[in-house]
Amino acid sequence: MSEQKAKKKDVTITINEAWCKGCVICVELCPESVLEMRSGKAKVAHLDQCSACMLCELRCPDFAIVVVDNSKVDQSSE
């Protein structure tokens, strides 16, 4: 598990490396180039660029990436 906190937007992205199969879907389809591949696993590279669009979480087939928009955390707790 690697966890990082964004600087601009208050976002936390968690990648479960044990479940990530390195399909690159989240990396290539992120509109803000936040993610990159390192040693076959997705990694957060530019968290400050994250717009919390949730597309990576929506499309990760392996439940391996979780994006928390901390500004909405109360409403989106489920």
Partner 1 sequence: MFNYDQYLRLNKFPLIWCSGCGDGIVLKSMLRAIHKLGINKDEMCMVSGIGCSSRLTGYVDFNTLHTTHGRALTFATGIKMANPKLHVVVVTGDGDATAIGGNHYIHAARRNIDITVILFNNFIYGMTGGQVSPTTPKGKRASTAPYGNFENAFNISGLAQAAGASYVARATVYNAVQLEKYIQRAIEKKGFSLVEVLSPCPTAYGRRNREGTPVDMILHQKENSIPVSKAESMTPEELEGKIITGVLVDTERPECRTEYQRLIDHLKEEK
Which residues bind to partner 1, rule: CB under 8 A?
Answer: 18-19, 21-25, 28-29, 54, 57-63, 66-69, 76-78
Footprint of ligand SF4 (CB under 6 A): 15, 20-26, 30-32, 34-35, 42, 50-56, 60, 62, 64-65, 67
The interface partner of residue 35, options being partner 1, ligand SF4, none and the CB cut-off 5 to 8 Å by kind, is: ligand SF4
CA distances from 49 to 34, 45, 53, 64 (A): 6, 9, 11, 20
Question: How distant is the alpha carbon of residue 19 from its chain centre?
Answer: 14
